[in-house]
Amino acid sequence: MLNGIGVFHLASTRLNYETAGLRVVARNVANADTPGFRGTAVVPFEETVRRQQSDGGNFSIRATRPGHADAAGRSADGGLRTKQAEVLEEAPNGNTVSLEDEMMQAARLRGGHALAASIFEKNLELMRMAVTAQG
């Protein structure tokens, strides 16, 4: 219902982005000792929104290759666009995950999630005040 209102749609999209981004970080951390594992990183939110707006504002999930989405049509990371993480140093076993970088990424994503939740909550308060205002 609220997704038809621009600010709620954007806040909801940002919440979904941050949540899916934390899943990417969790997958990287979980595989930090897996030989040959190549870490991934999320595409910046601004780039994601810009690309989706250029596609007519359609915030839909896309699979770029067969097998990217499960039978329900959702990809494992919630439809979030990811890219190969920048590698400063590769472990002898071929793993590219840096736990320090992942923790910094998690903190950034958590902050973005808190901001989006706050924006959603404050705008919901404004709507409540407008609806219940005694004129």
Amino acid, res. 48? T
Measured CA to CA, the distance from residue 37 to residue 70 in angstroms comes to: 22
Helix (H, G, I), strand (E, B) or coil at 42: strand
pLDDT in tens, 79-90: 556 667 777 678
**Taking the complete model, does pTM exceed 0.75, yes or no?**
no
Range(s) of the domain holding residue 30: 2-132
The number of domains in the chain is 1
Measured CA to CA, the distance from residue 34 to residue 50 in angstroms comes to: 34
Contact 104, 21 (CB under 8 A): no
Amino acid, res. 60? S
Contact 30, 77 (CB under 8 A): no
**Tens of pLDDT along the chain (135 residues)?**
555 567 888 888 888 888 889 999 999 999 999 999 998 888 777 776 676 666 655 544 455 555 444 333 344 444 556 667 777 678 888 898 989 999 999 999 999 999 989 998 998 888 888 888 765
What the block records as the tokens of 11 is 């806040």
**Nearest residue to 107 (alpha-carbon basis) of 37, 32, 21:** 21
